[in-house]
Amino acid sequence: MKLSRRAGGRRFLLRIAAAALALEVALAQQDGVLRFDWSAPGTDGLPAGWRPLTFKDIRQHTRYATVRDGETFVMKAEANGSASGLIHPVDADPRRTALLRWRWKVENLLSKADVTRKQGDDYPARIYVAFAYDPGRASLSQRIKYEAAHLIYGEYPPHSGLNYIWESKAPLGTIVPNPFTDRVRMIVVDSGPARVGQWVEHERNVLEDYKQAFGEEPPMISGIAIMTDADNTQESAVAYYGAITLSPASH
């Protein structure tokens, strides 16, 4: 992905892990459902459990603010040639907690966005699911790299990630490696202008998506992130995110 254009997508994964593992957040859980919303006050002007995800080589940051949508709170994101996200830690087994649900709305698309190119790796809305590092899945060279990262940053970067995106042109259902790292798969869940300006609800089985994207069983889920970004295309985008939940597939 992006987060650091010099280090590429791995730094994105690393920063999600480092921030998530540093937090001590009690997840709201009821009847096996993990809920990540925008209602409870926290620090830095953000809802409880959420923290900024910024990158030292990207000076322009996306603006995030909680706003009302009827009787509920949603997160408004405004990007203007910028990139940053919000993250929330997760500790969940995708074999037991597989259903990811969310709703979002975008005000516009990015004309230069292209899921296959680094220069086009911008989206008005994206939901990122990070999966924890598992040394049992890593090759010797990978374990060396992960141990080096652990020594430098004090945390292991995630093993991999799924990135659900609203794309401008790519067909619905497209699954491709991120142009910055093959450890992240991009999944197009909305495409084109037909539903711009409308709230769109999604439900995805992250267990099945992971197996289809990577051809193997997933590790534990370690983080959820949102991001609206336009730093590669130097365009502007506005999006809104509702509550995000993870629940058992039978729920």
CATH (residue range 9-247): 2.60.120.430
203: helix, strand or coil: strand
Q: What is the pLDDT of residues 139-179, one digit of tens each?
A: 666 655 655 554 554 554 567 899 999 999 999 999 999 99
**pTM metric for this prediction:** 0.84
Q: How far apart are CA 166 and CA 217, in angstroms?
A: 25
Residue stretches of the chain with pLDDT short of 50 = 1-8, 20-28, 150, 153, 156
Q: What is the pLDDT of residues 29-62, one digit of tens each?
A: 556 789 999 988 777 778 999 988 887 788 899 9
The full set of domain ranges for the chain reads: 9-247
Which amino acid makes up residue 62? T
Sign of the Cα torsion 222, 11, 134, 148 reads negative
Q: What pLDDT was estimated at residue 184?
A: 93
